Structure 1
Amino acid sequence: MDKFDQYKRLLRLGIAGIEIILEAAFFTYVWFGVYNGRRLNPFENKGNLMMVGFYILYLVVFIYMYGGTKYAYYRKGQLILSQTLGTVIANALMYMQIIMVVGQFPLPAVWPMLVLCVPEFLIIALINQMSDGIFRKMFPPKHLLLICDLEYKELLLRKISSRKDLYEVSRCVSASEPLSVLQKEVADCDAMMLYGIEEQKRNDLIKFCYEKSIRIYVAPEVSDILLRGADRVHSFDTPFFLLRNSGLSFEQRIMKRAMDILISGAMLIVASPFMLLTALAIKLEDHGPALFKQERVTIGGKKFYIYKFRSMIVDAEKNGAQFSTKNDSRITKVGKFIRATRLDELPQLLNILKGDMSIVGPRPERQTYIDEFCQETPEFIYRLKVKAGLTGYAQIYGKYNTTPLDKLKLDLMYIESYSVLLDIRLIFLTLKIMFTKESTEGVEEGQNHA
């Protein structure tokens, strides 16, 4: 099995390249057959190559951004969704460019670009069907040695079993076993997975696997993630990491606020018709208020009132704060729809414009939940290093029912690797989770996040 691993990335790039070339070929036909002829002075060779080149660039950027090249990593359905979104955005950008290039009124017809989507979607479906079979045959599931605190064994096995196409747990060994025993256990496995293991033993196992060229999956601790954002210091011949631990810099906060104002203002204008219809639908269903406000916590522990469209019955929390569960009877019919489509979040654009929140950042929690989570995980308070956000790392890579510790780790990954480009990427990735049902799963009945 391992003999093909060295070719996996090359195979991914090759398949993605074939898909992009085929899509570009169809666009080339549409450009030559429809749009170029509408110019007063049709492009010659260089101009045509420029238009096709831009289209290929858009496909590469957005398909890569959505993870559309991660064959044998994402499931087939996720790959199709990623590549479809990337293609749709590329087509939309290309049509706007065609409008500017053709430069005539009335505007160039949009239907050729819409028709172009049909063969492109067929290409995406066919290539993913074939590639799925190829990768499953060449790269069967890896046999894992799971070394963990046995308290988390069932949770981890449940997570791993959801990706039987990638992993198969051969053995599960307690992290309390001596180091020499753990080193011997990996002998007939393809990889080792570590979770909840004592720090010194973990470090020794990592070095052992590095020496023996053994693949290893390690669940990071909070301190590991904080080190990701450190600067390398070479003031003398001993290397050091510098952790400033101050959240975002002044310049980053200025750029982030400017982007928040521009994007939230534009989105409010575009979303206003949908917001009006949503408010009307909520009012007609049970005659209750369309909006509800709730106290949340943002940067530095500052409290503010968050606005959302009401998706539950009036007085849903008259017996106290509680998480939404699967098949929650308090959620209204309209509420189910606006939750699934994320329309219930739109009023938070007002919070962003006011400065209570940012477009991207950790989700704002209620004080009662923060207090509860901090009893189990004191580091949960670290999320308040930056302003709360409408979308963020934990919302995109986690779920509604992701544990507080894992949400903390995801949010810290964002804080410690922040950049404007990362914010832009996460905003685009938010479009993808709008089509992903798992991201809105409620907690199981009786599940205790703390």
Structure 2
Amino acid sequence: YSAVFSFVLLAIWQYICHQWEWKHFPKQTAVLFAAGEEAARIQKKLAKTYGLEQALQSVCDSCQQAIWKQLIDANYYVFIGAELPIADKEKILRYARSTKKQIFFVPTLYELACKNTGFLLVDDIPMQRVTRMLLTAEQRVLKRILDIAVAVTALIILSPVILITAVMIKLDSKGPVLYSQERVGLYGKTFFVHKFRSMKQDAEAKCGPVLAAEGDPRITKFGRFMRATRLDELPQLFNVLKGEMSIVGPRPERPFFVKQFIVQKPEYDYRHNVKPGITGLAQIAGKYNTSAYDKLIYDLLYIQDVSVKTDLMIMMQTFKVLLTKSSTEGVQGK
């Protein structure tokens, strides 16, 4: 009871403080340093973010524009895109920090690799050790123990839900209750993931592998409900018990799409340094239609910060995501 009341009172206190700050402090403005499609994408996301809807005042595509310093001076927030040349990023970062601005940037693989670096002294030359993005033996053991404990507990508690879901699928459409699909797992090895069937039988027989789209006609009526509530993922608990998956980790993708993603972004292959998961940081922080690159950033951030505490936090946050309709939106235009 004490824990529940503490969470409730803390939430109320945060809300009161936020509302007071929002009303009495001046609204802060922002400048975005990005170009082309990336600039348009970031602008769209900022417009949908609470507290930043009206903040963006200026967009600058490089430091070649003579007014870039004036734009930083005139705004409090400075946003930097990933595709900006590193020389421009350094100039912006240096000047924005000297004028005490709040800086945000979209990270690249290079910048992610510099996170959690170790220090090494080579004679009198200071060096930083870049993380290998691999789990230690201790992390693997603790993660496996947590996976088994959660999977067994979930299967016992959710067994009535699993049974009812299976019956509803049979009543809703023709075809098997479950379907298995090849996915890429740990170290690039393939395995078959198990899910409740949410699409019509032989949905990809004619069109081939296609990412799910918003309003996809291949999805059954009950399938839409399962996808919205993530009930279709429950059979993956058996994949967890078999050791092919983890409760938390990057979502496993089909080999067809993995090959495409690796060609576009070679660092995509780093996702396979850990077991794929039923849920993950990309699922609680992003949406179903979040771009593959943005999901990759979330997955790499998770790999660098794997712990029992992190996994438990993501599991709890997953329940919140289940109640958010936008988190299950399909891929636009696919």
Counterpart CA distance in 2 for 1:426 and 1:368 is: 28
The structure with the largest helix share of the pair is 1
With structure 1 as the length reference, what TM-score do the two structures score? Answer: 0.69
Distance 1:228 1:371, change over 3 A: same
Indicate which of 283, 289, 297 corresponds to 1:409: 297
1:273-312 paired onto structure 2 within 5 Å: 273-312=160-199
1:328-383 Cα shifts (integer Å, max 9, x gaps): 12211111111111111100000000011001100001111111112221211111
Aligned residues: 331
Cross-structure match for 1:342: 230
Among 352, 359, 363, the residue aligned to 2:247:
359
Indicate yes or no: 2:32 matched with 1:153: no
What are the residue-to-residue correspondences of 1:363-442 with 2, within 5 Å? 363-442=251-330
Report the CA distance between 1:237 and its aligned residue.
5.9
The structure-2 alpha-carbon separation of the partners of 1:273 and 1:166, relative to structure 1 and needing over 3 Å to count, comes to same
- What whole-Å deviation, never above 9, does each CA across 1:117-139 have from its counterpart, x for those lacking one? xxxxxxx5xx7876564343134
Q: Distance in 1 between matches of 2:88 and 2:42?
A: 20
TM-score, normalised to structure 2, is: 0.92
State the secondary structure of the residue aligned to 1:228.
coil
The match for 1:251 is: 138
Offset at residue 164 of structure 1 (A)? 5.8
- 3-state SS, counterpart of residue 180 of structure 2: strand
1:204 aligns with 2:62: no
| CA contact 2:133–2:303 (8 Å) conserved in 1 | no
Tell me which residue corresponds to 1:185: 71
1:324 alignment counterpart: 212
Deviation at 1:414, TM superposition (A): 0.3
State yes or no: 1:313 paired with 2:200. Answer: yes
Structure 1: state its 5+ residue gaps.
Answer: 1-26, 28-54, 70-82, 84-123
1:233 shift after superposition: 3.6
Cα distance in structure 2, aligned partners of 1:430 and 1:353: 20
Aligned to 1:142, the other structure's residue is in SS state coil
Query: What amino acid does structure 2 have at the position aligned with 1:408?
Result: L
CA distance in 2, matches of 1:224, 1:418: 18
8 A contact 2:143–2:307 mirrored in 1: no
The one-letter amino acid of 1:163's match is T
Structure 1 window deviating more from structure 2 (182-191 vs 430-439): it is: 182-191
SS of 1:248's equivalent in the other structure is coil
Are 1:242 and 2:129 matched, yes or no?
Answer: yes
Aligned equivalent of 2:20, options 131, 134, 150: 134
Contact 1:179-1:201 within 8 A present in 2 as well: no
1:233–1:240 CA contact under 8 A, matched in 2:
yes
1:393–1:236 CA distance, 2 compared to 1 (3 A): farther
Matched AA of 1:373: F
**2 CA distance for matches of 1:406 and 1:383?**
13
1:22: which partner in 2?
Answer: none
Q: Distance in 2 between matches of 1:142 and 1:373?
A: 38
After superposition, what is the alpha-carbon deviation per residue over 1:257-315, rounded to whole angstroms, capped at 9, x for unaligned? 11111111111111111100000000011232111111000111110000011111111
How do 1:161-180 and structure 2 match up within 5 A?
161-163=47-49, 165-167=51-53, 168-175=55-62, 177-178=63-64
Question: Structure 1 residues 294, 324: CA separation in 2 closer, same or farther (over 3 Å shift)?
Answer: same
Give the Cα–Cα distance (whole angstroms) in 1 for the partners of residues 91 and 266 of structure 2: 27
Which SS does the other structure have where 2:114 is aligned?
A: helix
- Maintained 8 Å contact 1:140/1:165: no
Go from structure 1 to structure 2 and tell me whether the alpha carbon gap of 1:333 and 1:132 turns closer, same or farther (over 3 Å shift). Answer: farther
Verify the 8 A CA contact 1:228 1:417 in the aligned structure 2: no
Identity percentage of aligned residues:
36
Counterpart of 1:38? none
Aligned mates of 1:399, 1:246 — CA distance in 2: 24
Contact 1:392 1:411 in 2 (8 A): yes
Matched residues in 2 for 1:423 and 1:384: separation?
Answer: 17
List runs of 5+ in structure 2 lacking aligned partners.
none
The one of the two structures with greater contact order (alpha-carbon pairs below 8 A, sep at least 6) is: 2
